[in-house]
Amino acid sequence: MALLLLWQGLYFIRIWPEFMFPSPFMVFNTLVNGFGQGNYTMAMLNSFRRLLIGFGIAITLGVFIGVLMGRFKSIDETFGGLILSLQSVPSVVWLPLALLWFSMGESAMIFVVVIGGLWNMIMSTTAGIKGVDPLLIQSGINLGYTGFSLFRKVILPAAVPHIITGVRMAWAFCWRALMAAEIIGTGQGLGQVLMWGRDMGNMSTVLAVMFIIAGTGIISDGIVFKKIEKEVYRRWGLLETAF
Amino acid sequence: MLELNKVTKYYKNEKVLDEITMTIKEGEFVSLLGPSGCGKSTLVHIISGLNQASDGEVSMDGRKITRPSTDRIMVFQSNGLFPWLTVEQNVAFGKKDNGNKISKDEVKKLLKMIRLTSYRHKYPHQLSGGMKQRVSIARSLAMDPQLLLMDEPFSALDEQTKNELHDELQKIWMETGKTIIFVTHNIREAVKLSDRVLVMGNDPGRIICDVRISEPHPRSHADQNLVALESSILRLLEKEIRKQKEGEELHGTLDEKKSIFNGSITSLARTLFYKNMA
Ligand SMILES: Nc1ncnc2c1ncn2[C@@H]1O[C@H](COP(=O)(O)OP(=O)(O)OP(=O)(O)O)[C@@H](O)[C@H]1O
Ligand SMILES: [Mg+2]
């Protein structure tokens, strides 16, 4: 609220011309119009589709590879370092390569989203599997479980809190990767609307889209993922130590 | 019948168990009592099959023990319950070696036995420490094992809860007739619960004394005879600890198979005192 007032105040002083620094009302109007005409809704749906596909692939693949790395030391030793270094590469960097590999812009963008969440998902899963309390494993063995059933009934469930944290982070990383990819790439997503606003010199569109992007991130993380994560931690009896 | 024959365990080059030999009869309640680090946990893990002896062998009813089995179930100090399962699901979790599942009736009966029927849909994090330990015991009993191995199951609990659980465990033991090996470093607990207390010494871990207690069950912690026995075992242990501090060898360790105590507890306590302090 204070921020809004400050913003309105700055607008009245007119340090910058109006087209470069619109008032909150103008941005609000742009938002309402944008959604009213369905432009923003379409853009959001496009972005969400890419996000959900990419995110889904990232966590599925991430859990799968992470489990392998957590269970087999040799795989972990071979690829662990590589994945750690790959994680520090911003995922948009992969876009040019992806555009060459997949002639379609859409697949390339989804690829970037997958890359955005993948490394982190792998590392969280591996850490979760490796960090399972040995006492639970001993209990499982003593209660008659071995091999795959031990893994499915004891090790994997015990690693769920770590995996959920990984999922939450992967979501945020995928979202960022998507926006970066859309700004550079083509197609009909939020990122493109943002760039279109810039090209037209339409600052209120730019700001409106920024609001949507930030809002979506905050709402999905704060309301959906944080809640799920907290519920899992509570159930697993980790709440006192983690929050 | 459980038999240990010269069970020895090394960690790297350090000997933590030295030729442990003992025989435990079916239905016996035996406590392993000893100072911290004397190898009690290591010994019960070897009996369970979760750990392996470096030398010597363990056998039950003539069959050599080499790996874990649902015939010998461990109850751990920090319970080892699965936090993502409800009380009921935890109790029903086990899978018997013969492939049989645990029946619904069985689970119901056990929940009633530990008086947690109304908590059956709760998760472990919603239970007190004592309740969790009861669930852990019920989960072990559900496997209908021949042998129950309890590694300091109550040492994290407060005095009152501990006493309640002692009474409950005595009742369960009398009802089910299971063989129980109970690890503790609490002398009172050992004396109150067991038919036999195996006192262990340190460096390397070995059995220094085999005390039989013939007082009838159930016993109360206020029993005067038990109190007397308790203090003599305490003296024995103190001597062991002192010896360890001074780094001198106690000559002529007792042959644990030749049980020196029988008869009433008071005379027993006196004998114990005499034999070891002399
Ligand atoms: N995995 C291991 N690797 C190396 N040394 C070990 C290992 N486990 C136990 N030890 C050592 O073996 C000795 C016996 O340990 P153990 O846990 O069996 O003792 P304890 O009698 O159960 O002690 P406490 O009463 O503290 O539980 C200790 O000196 C300990 O340091
Ligand atoms: Mg121990």
Identify the residue whose C-alpha is closest to ligand 1 atom 9: B42
* Closest Cβ–Cβ partner in A141, A145, A239 for B50: A141
In a domain, A137, yes or no: yes
In a domain, A8, yes or no: no
Altogether, the residues listed in chain A come to a count of 243
Would you call A144 and B82 a contact, using CB atoms and an 8 Å cutoff?
A: no
Ligand 1 contacts CB of residue B42 (under 6 A)? yes
Question: Looking at the predicted structure, is the pLDDT value of residue B260 above 60?
Answer: no
- The predicted pLDDT at position B247 comes to 56
- The predicted pLDDT at position B263 comes to 33
Q: Name residues 145-184 of chain A within 8 A of B (Cβ).
A: 145, 149, 153-154, 157-158, 160
**Is the CB of residue A139 less than 8 Å away from at least one CB of chain B?**
yes
Would you call A139 and B74 a contact, using CB atoms and an 8 Å cutoff?
A: yes
In a domain, A198, yes or no: yes
Would you call B96 and A239 a contact, using CB atoms and an 8 Å cutoff?
A: no
- The predicted pLDDT at position A193 comes to 85
In a domain, A79, yes or no: yes
The 3-state secondary structure of chain A reads CHHHHHHHHHHHHCCCCCCCCCCHHHHHHHHHHHHHCCHHHHHHHHHHHHHHHHHHHHHHHHHHHHHHHHHCHHHHHHHHHHHHHHHCCCHHHHHHHHHHHCCCHHHHHHHHHHHHHHHHHHHHHHHHHHCCCHHHHHHHHHCCCCHHHHHHHHHHHHHHHHHHHHHHHHHHHHHHHHHHHHHHCCCCCHHHHHHHHHHCCCHHHHHHHHHHHHHHHHHHHHHHHHHHHHHHHHHCCCHHHHC
**Is the CB of residue B93 less than 8 Å away from at least one CB of chain A?**
yes
User: Mutation test of the interface with chain A: which of B66, B69, B74, B135, choosing the one with the most A Cβ atoms within 10 A?
Assistant: B74
- The predicted pLDDT at position B258 comes to 33
Question: Looking at the predicted structure, is the pLDDT value of residue B277 above 60?
Answer: no
Q: Which atom of ligand 1 is nearest to the CA of B34?
A: 21
pLDDT tens per residue across span B29-40: 999 998 888 999
Per-residue pLDDT of chain A (243 residues; tens, 9 = 90+): 788 888 888 887 777 777 777 888 888 888 888 787 877 888 888 899 999 999 999 999 999 999 999 999 899 888 988 998 888 888 888 888 888 888 777 888 899 999 999 999 999 999 999 999 999 999 999 999 999 999 999 999 999 999 999 999 999 999 999 998 888 877 788 888 888 888 888 888 888 888 888 888 888 888 899 999 999 999 898 876 545
Would you call B80 and A158 a contact, using CB atoms and an 8 Å cutoff?
A: no
Ligand 1 contacts CB of residue B20 (under 6 A)? no
pLDDT (average), residues B82-97: 94
Q: What is the mean pLDDT of chain B?
A: 84
pLDDT tens per residue across span A62-86: 999 999 999 998 998 889 889 988 8
β-bridge mates for residue B24, sequence order: B2
- Which residues of A are less than 8 Å from B70 in CB distance? 142-144
CB-based contact B19:B56 (threshold 8 Å)? yes
Ligand 1 contacts CB of residue B11 (under 6 A)? yes
In a domain, A19, yes or no: no
Q: Select from B9, B31, B40, B74 the residue to mutate for testing ligand 1; criterion: most ligand atoms less than 8 Å from CB.
A: B40
pLDDT tens per residue across span A26-35: 888 888 887 8
Q: For residues A5 and B138, which has the higher predicted lDDT (pLDDT)?
A: B138
Q: Name residues 15-74 of chain B within 8 A of A (Cβ).
A: 48, 50, 68, 70, 72-74
In a domain, A181, yes or no: yes
In a domain, A74, yes or no: yes
Would you call B68 and A142 a contact, using CB atoms and an 8 Å cutoff?
A: yes
Q: Which two tokens stand for residue B68?
A: 């874990």
Percent of chain B at pLDDT exceeding 70 = 87
Ligand 1 contacts CB of residue B31 (under 6 A)? no
In a domain, A18, yes or no: no
Question: Looking at the predicted structure, is the pLDDT value of residue B20 above 50?
Answer: yes
* Residue-number span of the structural domain to which A159 is assigned: 34-242
**Is the CB of residue A138 less than 8 Å away from at least one CB of chain B?**
yes
Please count the structural domains in chain A. 1
pLDDT band at B245 (very low <50, low <70, confident <90, very high): low
- The predicted pLDDT at position B50 comes to 93
pLDDT (average), residues B200-214: 87
CATH code: domain of residue A82: 1.10.3720.10
Q: Select from B8, B10, B11 the residue to mutate for testing ligand 1; criterion: most ligand atoms less than 8 Å from CB.
A: B11
